[in-house]
Amino acid sequence: MQAAPRTRILILGGGFAGVSAAMRLRALLRRDPAVEIHLVSNENYFVFQPLLPEVVACRIEPTHIVNPIRQLCRGVVVTNAEVQRIDLAARTVELVGADARRVQTLGYDQLVIALGLTMDLSRIPGMREHSLPIKNLGDAFHLRNHVLQRLEEADVEPDERQRRRLLTFVAVGGGFSGVETGAELNDMVKGVLRFFPRAAATGHRLILVHSQPRILNELRPELADFARRKLEQRGVEVLVETRVRECTAGGVILGDGREIEAATVVCTVGNSPHPVITGSALPQERGRVLVDECMRVQGLSGVWAVGDSALLPDVKRGGYCPPTAQYATRQGKRVAENIHAALRGGKARPFVFGGLGQLAIVGHQCGVAQVMGLMISGRLAWFLWRTVYFMKLPGVRAKIRVGIDWALDVFFPRDIAMLDVRRTERLGRAHYKAGEVIIRQGEIGDRFYIIESGEVEVVRTGPDGAEQRLAARKAGESFGEVALLRGMPRTATVRCLTPVDVITFSREDFRTLVGSSEVFRVVFEQQMQAMSPPAGEPQPPQISNIASP
Amino acid sequence: MQAAPRTRILILGGGFAGVSAAMRLRALLRRDPAVEIHLVSNENYFVFQPLLPEVVACRIEPTHIVNPIRQLCRGVVVTNAEVQRIDLAARTVELVGADARRVQTLGYDQLVIALGLTMDLSRIPGMREHSLPIKNLGDAFHLRNHVLQRLEEADVEPDERQRRRLLTFVAVGGGFSGVETGAELNDMVKGVLRFFPRAAATGHRLILVHSQPRILNELRPELADFARRKLEQRGVEVLVETRVRECTAGGVILGDGREIEAATVVCTVGNSPHPVITGSALPQERGRVLVDECMRVQGLSGVWAVGDSALLPDVKRGGYCPPTAQYATRQGKRVAENIHAALRGGKARPFVFGGLGQLAIVGHQCGVAQVMGLMISGRLAWFLWRTVYFMKLPGVRAKIRVGIDWALDVFFPRDIAMLDVRRTERLGRAHYKAGEVIIRQGEIGDRFYIIESGEVEVVRTGPDGAEQRLAARKAGESFGEVALLRGMPRTATVRCLTPVDVITFSREDFRTLVGSSEVFRVVFEQQMQAMSPPAGEPQPPQISNIASP
């Protein structure tokens, strides 16, 4: 993987922009063995985000709106890894694969940055801990099961107030995602409550909290107001010009101090730039990469940025292109054509797109739409919404499945199976045989270990290759903290002297503990004296990125 | 929920036996408002286990073989909770709901024990930590993603030996489950490897390890041998008369000391009795409840046992009924009829069933079958297998979905999307507002807390209702250990004096830590002195059950 024998077009990101760029490039360069199209994605599938709310609402099965990227982009080299760092000078990208043991470096001739945005819930106290985002498939899957779990609990909860809390749902954010998720959740709970007789007696509440005076403010006022009326007709309580000040285990506290006791808080606000971009030397504004109308990054030849992570001038309407799937998909296609042109000595063409319009679902069989100047609402808009997304859904299999889900949805009650995928224990555990190596010098440190039984030795291999024994550790003792605390590769190798059972913590967990518990901190600072690394040990910056993804 | 106004038939367990009993009872008693049919299940869905191997093999979507019990058994009261204890004297059952805060007691007039078996992987060192069981949907889901993850890793792994390890799969156990899962996994990896070009070059291995001289030894020798030949033709390496001595992070060590480096070990052995049964006064043998041929538990009126958790005489062929879905389903029906008869003053009838035969899949479009004396093998057996299970699959929706998956399977490559549902952080975190109660005196202790920021007070309410302040805790300190270490309800209430951020551990995790790290034990023992509970505090036995489910 290290050396690229041929021209490598490296695409970072497996979202709308990245995948459409890869597919288009594949089509344009099909007959060119001298070019490698290489896509890096932290998930091995492409998820069709616009349908996430329907997944949450149990209308579509979670697995039906995903497409394995390897199958979607045949002939494209796909690497399933997390991007760590972009080195513009060396024209390389640093990746950490799923096993997280090693940083891999990948060179590029052409680079397409399509990393999208990330979620930052840390701005509102408690939001990160207690609210459920709805950004990727895992989120939707989790939210779906979380809601069903609350219904199960409410059904056996004797205390009236607790039951009401379990049946209160808050959606934070009145944009498309917030409105659609709120509307779908509301319909869903209404629809399935009858299967929970003891909970049904209490009934549910769904509250949509929005900071602006008007929800869906990307739409025309009339349409936005229609949407709001429809939501309210269906029982959704809409609070506008209201901020969430704090989110707790018990519910949310609003800006004016009012409290809403709720066991479910869905958060659709808090989009924030990708750390790899903010951590890079790329020209940027508020974390979005500055590009010209051809999606070229100024001053960097062969570097392009598209989708939500790019700040691309909107040639047609002025300002910048909105961060929507519509735009991202087309930008991906166009950047592919521009790269193809660049390779063939052709001329890059600007991205010109006015948008086809906007659609939102505000409840079952009811939507609002603004298409080519027209305003549509009600069932027609809903139908349009489904038609458009059905057509956009990539892959025949996905189309068939979603189509069938929609058909079944008409004839059968929703699927309220609460899929228990919490198989793994919270704490990692591992068993090693005598002589086996648990951590290896030079690897990225990604775990911390406490020995349950057995004994290990800590050894370091010097530059001369000679092994030096630093320490031994027995049951009740721990190891692996140096790399985690100092943010550097493993400074030593740990080998089992006997069969060994260990408990393991992820880097993230370990740092949290040390950062918050005096007991931990004291203990580990002591231990570290015993095996502090040689001076001048490299301290790769990317480690810290890994620690807080 | 406490008092039963009408005759309550309580069914424990949502597997084949429990659900079929509930459905049959529902049909028999439809017009009788004086009888409550109440089913307790720890999952809110019924999973059709025979198809789990196909889920692992990405032929069927995980969600398609499940049926929400509430929808399957309309009119039956369903409680989604874990059974803690059966009190035969008081004729009550103790449950802990999903929220795990409170023990609920449910009385019964008729009790049907259909708890099935559990998995005990602790007998082989390292098996619990490193092998993947395939018992419920979560397992199948997890195994499927685990395998895809290994392929993704192998595709970016530069080291040849590591890559070979990532591509080596071991299935432990040569029974139906082991053979079918092994065969399906082998076909699947073979089928999708082409999407992982760098891994494909290395190729994969699948090794089936079985302790007996012959796999599938429930079948006739000729048929079992045929199955083995077929497996081997498809590249599965079958090791018979071989035990796994140890399982490590690196692979498995066999009885004769040989080692197999493998990143995936599937375990289909280790069935063990249900703790609630072994912990009860029920007459039993090796953890299975002794019943007469009418499924009555001797000496206990109105108590019945069916399915895998019952030791039921096989009237037709002598010995005891085998623990299979075929038998469980019919036992459920018959026990329903016997209970109905008992309520109506009728006579109980014995369970008489000879079994219809046995089917196993040994690879795509190849199976072995033993049906009513006939032996069938190859494609016909495979077709028979699918037909039988398709017909047995409960619910029209499930039938449609599985049917479509099978149809798609013919025309499309398998769905290799690796569903990332690991949304939650390993460590729990929580934010509370000033004045909020974090733990409440008298509740079951299910979590341990470390304070990240803020301050709390620990208070106890005496019998007179007066509050006594025991202690205050600030950032870096912890609380909640007493209930967890002493296995008793919360002995005090913890209230926030300021907004508070905490890190939380589950009971399981906390006990593991304290059980293994001296540092922890010392610290907590000290803390506990400060707030040891009043003498004569009840020590409910069920807590320990919760701790080790």
What gap in Å lies between CA A448 and CA A508, rounded to an integer?
A: 10
Phi, psi angles (nearest 5°) of residue B183: -60, -45
The type of residue at B20 is: S
Query: Chain B partners of A513 at a C-beta cutoff of 8 Å?
Result: 427, 450, 503
Q: Please report whether residue B371 resides in a domain.
A: no
Distance from CA of A491 to the nearest CA of B (A): 21
CB contact under 8 A, A519 and B519: yes
Are the C-beta atoms of residues A291 and A304 closer than 8 Å to each other? yes
Task: Out of A1, A130, A508, name the one closest to residue B156 (CB).
Answer: A1
Whether A196 and A222 share a structural domain: yes
The type of residue at A491 is: T
Give the number of other CB atoms < 10 A from CB of residue A530: 12
For helices B176-192 and B221-233, give the axis angle rounded to 10 degrees: 20
Phi, psi angles (nearest 5°) of residue A175: -80, -170
Q: Please report whether residue B256 resides in a domain.
A: yes
The band of B474, judged by pLDDT with boundaries at 50, 70 and 90, is confident
SS3 state at A428 = strand
**ipTM of the assembly?**
0.73
Query: Chain A partners of B247 at a C-beta cutoff of 8 Å?
Result: 431
B350 Cβ contact partners less than 8 Å away, ≥ 6 residues apart: B292, B293, B294, B315
Q: What is the pLDDT of residues B136-165, one digit of tens each?
A: 877 888 888 889 889 988 988 888 999 999
Whether B137 and B260 share a structural domain: yes
Give the helix/strand (H/E) hosting B185: helix B176-192
Whether A262 and A342 share a structural domain: no
pLDDT of residue A285: 94
Q: Check CB contact of A3 with chain B, cutoff 8 Å.
A: no
Whether B110 and B128 share a structural domain: no
Whether A133 and A111 share a structural domain: no
B261 Cβ contact partners less than 8 Å away, ≥ 6 residues apart: B161, B164, B165, B168, B250, B251
Q: Please report whether residue B218 resides in a domain.
A: yes
Distance from CA of B534 to the nearest CA of A (A): 27
Q: Check CB contact of B324 with chain A, cutoff 8 Å.
A: no
Q: What is the pLDDT of residues B50-98, one digit of tens each?
A: 888 888 887 887 778 888 888 888 889 999 888 999 999 999 999 987 6
Query: Chain A partners of B149 at a C-beta cutoff of 8 Å?
Result: 98
**For residue B421, what are the CA distances in angstroms to B110, B129, B151?**
40, 20, 18
CB contact under 8 A, B152 and A396: no
Look up the domain containing B311 and give its range: 7-117+273-354
Whether B277 and B207 share a structural domain: no
Task: Out of A99, A417, A509, name the one closest to residue B45 (CB).
Answer: A417
Task: Out of B396, B421, B520, name the one closest to residue A421 (CB).
Answer: B421
Buried b (16+ CB within 10 A) or exposed e, B477-487: bbbbbbbbbbb
Residue among A516, A435, A513 nearest A480 (CA):
A513
Task: Out of A63, A148, A426, name the one closest to residue B44 (CB).
Answer: A148
**First and final C-alpha spacing in chain B:** 24
Domain boundary among A237, A268, A299: A268
Q: Which of A415, A429, A448 to mutate to test the interface with B (most CBs of B within 10 A)?
A: A415
CB contact under 8 A, A142 and B424: yes
Q: Which of B19, B70, B151, B477 to mutate to test the interface with A (most CBs of A within 10 A)?
A: B70
CB contact under 8 A, B129 and A431: yes
CB contact under 8 A, A71 and B503: no
Across the A:B interface, residue pairs with CB atoms under 8 Å apart total 287
CATH code of residue A174:
3.50.50.100
Distance from CA of A504 to the nearest CA of B (A): 10
Give the number of other CB atoms < 10 A from CB of residue B541: 12
- Tokens read off for A342: 């660049």
What gap in Å lies between CA B167 and CA A521, rounded to an integer?
A: 40
Residue among B249, B131, B514, B261 nearest A494 (CA):
B249
Q: Check CB contact of B149 with chain A, cutoff 8 Å.
A: yes
Average pLDDT over residues B10-18: 95
Whether A88 and A164 share a structural domain: no
Give the number of other CB atoms < 10 A from CB of residue B378: 15
Task: Out of A77, A499, A512, name the one closest to residue B125 (CB).
Answer: A499
> What percent of chain A has a predicted confidence (pLDDT) above 90?
42
The band of A541, judged by pLDDT with boundaries at 50, 70 and 90, is very low
Whether B139 and B246 share a structural domain: yes
CATH code of residue B435:
2.60.120.10
Whether B251 and B295 share a structural domain: no
The DSSP secondary structure of A342-377, one letter per residue, reads: HHTT-----------EEEEEEETTEEEEEETTEEEE
Domain boundary among B333, B354, B375: B354
Domain boundary among A335, A354, A373: A354
Could you give the count of Cα atoms lying within 13 Å of B66 in the half-sphere of its Cβ?
Answer: 24
CB contact under 8 A, B68 and A417: yes
With a CB-CB cutoff of 8 Å, which residues 49-78 of chain A face chain B?
61-64, 66-68, 70-71, 77
pLDDT of residue B526: 64
SS3 state at B328 = helix
Residue among B181, B201, B173, B157 nearest B58 (CA):
B181
pTM: 0.77
Q: Please report whether residue A249 resides in a domain.
A: yes
Task: Out of A408, A436, A516, name the one closest to residue B450 (CB).
Answer: A516
pLDDT of residue B233: 93
Task: Out of A45, A156, A419, name the one closest to residue B97 (CB).
Answer: A156
- Tokens read off for A410: 């008409």
Q: Please report whether residue A403 resides in a domain.
A: no
pLDDT of residue A528: 59
What gap in Å lies between CA B439 and CA B483, rounded to an integer?
A: 11
Q: Check CB contact of B123 with chain A, cutoff 8 Å.
A: no
Are the C-beta atoms of residues B495 and B461 closer than 8 Å to each other? no
Are the C-beta atoms of residues A428 and A506 closer than 8 Å to each other? yes
pLDDT of residue B19: 95
Give the helix/strand (H/E) hosting A338: helix A325-343
CATH code of residue B285:
3.50.50.60
The DSSP secondary structure of B77-120, one letter per residue, reads: EEEEEEEEEEETTTTEEEEEETT-S-EEEEE-SEEEE----EE-
What gap in Å lies between CA B544 and CA B549, rounded to an integer?
A: 9
Task: Out of A98, A137, A477, name the one closest to residue B419 (CB).
Answer: A137
The type of residue at A496 is: C
**For residue A529, what are the CA distances in angstroms to A451, A496, A532?**
19, 22, 6
Q: Please report whether residue A239 resides in a domain.
A: yes
Q: What is the pLDDT of residues B331-364, one digit of tens each?
A: 999 999 999 999 999 999 999 998 788 888 888 7
Q: Please report whether residue B75 resides in a domain.
A: yes
Q: Check CB contact of A540 with chain B, cutoff 8 Å.
A: no
Query: Chain A partners of B130 at a C-beta cutoff of 8 Å?
Result: 430-431
Whether A207 and A294 share a structural domain: no
Could you tell me which chain A residue has the CA closest to the CA of B421? A138
**Cα-based angle A86, A92, A96 (whole degrees, multiple of 5):** 65
Total tally of structural domains belonging to chain A: 3
**Out of A336-350, B66-80, B193-207, B380-394, which region has the weakest mean confidence (pLDDT)?**
B380-394
Q: Check CB contact of B158 with chain A, cutoff 8 Å.
A: yes
What gap in Å lies between CA B241 and CA B212, rounded to an integer?
A: 5
CB contact under 8 A, B66 and A158: no
Residue B461, classified by CB atoms within 10 Å of its CB into exposed (0-12), middle (13-18) or buried (19+), is middle
Q: Please report whether residue A407 resides in a domain.
A: no
Q: What is the pLDDT of residues A425-444, one digit of tens each?
A: 345 678 888 888 888 888 87
- Tokens read off for B454: 């803020």
Q: What is the pLDDT of residues A10-51, one digit of tens each?
A: 999 999 999 999 999 999 998 788 999 999 998 888 888 888
Task: Out of B98, B408, B420, name the one closest to residue A397 (CB).
Answer: B408
Whether A140 and A198 share a structural domain: yes
Could you tell me which chain B residue has the CA closest to the CA of A141? B421
What gap in Å lies between CA B9 and CA B90, rounded to an integer?
A: 15
SS3 state at B209 = strand
The band of A465, judged by pLDDT with boundaries at 50, 70 and 90, is confident
Could you tell me which chain B residue has the CA closest to the CA of A523? B519
Q: What are the start-end ranges of the E strands in B31-181?
A: 35-41, 45-47, 66-68, 77-87, 92-97, 103-107, 110-113, 118-119, 131-133, 168-172
Whether B11 and B53 share a structural domain: yes
